[in-house]
Structure 1
């Protein structure tokens, strides 16, 4: 009879979803959805649509950097321009410009690896992006900046 104790770490799952219009789609809203499952040594990334997938499995020991940048999607830049043009006829349309900027804001999470490859994830939510980046930095033992 063996007295070894098996310790299992609970898997943590994150769901990140981009803002509408991240890519041009004939049908649908052009969103990228990522489901990231983190265990003790790696994270598995499932991306929908699959053709937008970068790297499906990342090992924490290979991660060298995690960066977050912001970008407004092309659809919402167009909507902001139209709202600005509408201001000539209806000055109150200026209120739509910050609303469209907020709706179209994407956080682009770039995870750099030792090999030089990069995994790119998108999040329309600031809170979800910050929580995920903190978890990745903690798991990969990267210094906080």
Structure 2
């Protein structure tokens, strides 16, 4: 890898925010906020709330795989069911079902390590997820 690429990666920071309702909470929106700072040899992950943190530091040479899956959060599944039930009284509420599916869509980024451990990150944004996954695969030399 060239020095220019390493210098670019050293300056990279990604902010991932999950969809509302990723986890159940009495107060707040149930979002997970992750700030990933990438330097030449590792990435540092800061997660809020702290109890949702998996692995705080990942070294690029230890990364074996990066996968992205999609999942709709529990809150929005509930809202989708309510909208479907409302269709009997007001058929136009069917339009709410795809809206709730779009709002509740989470992208789950799973980074697998040589040791068998996995770091899990959540993002509600497709664009940010694709940029982050592409950057990780490029610097970790994963195809």
Same fold flag (TM > 0.5): yes
Q: Where does the alignment leave 5 or more consecutive residues of structure 1 unmatched?
A: 1-6
Corresponding residue SS for 1:47: strand
Which protein is richer in helix relative to its size? 2
Give 1:11 deviation, angstroms.
1.9
Tell me which residue corresponds to 2:115.
Answer: 115
CA distance in 1, matches of 2:14, 2:115: 25
Tell me which residue corresponds to 1:72.
Answer: 72
CA deviations over 1:36-92 (Å, ceiling 9, x no partner) = 000110000000000000000000000000000000000000000000000000000
Give 1:99 deviation, angstroms.
0.1
CA distance in 2, matches of 1:67, 1:29: 26
Corresponding residue SS for 2:36: strand
Give the TM-score, by structure 2 length: 0.94
RMSD of the alignment, in Å? 1.1
Q: Where does the alignment leave 5 or more consecutive residues of structure 2 unmatched?
A: none
Equivalence map 1:1-145=2 (5 Å): 9=7, 10-143=10-143
Larger radius of gyration: 1
Corresponding residue SS for 1:121: strand
Corresponding residue SS for 2:31: coil
Give the TM-score, by structure 1 length: 0.93
CA distance in 2, matches of 1:139, 1:96: 41
CA deviations over 1:2-45 (Å, ceiling 9, x no partner) = xxxxx982420000000000000111000000000001100000
Give 1:111 deviation, angstroms.
0.1
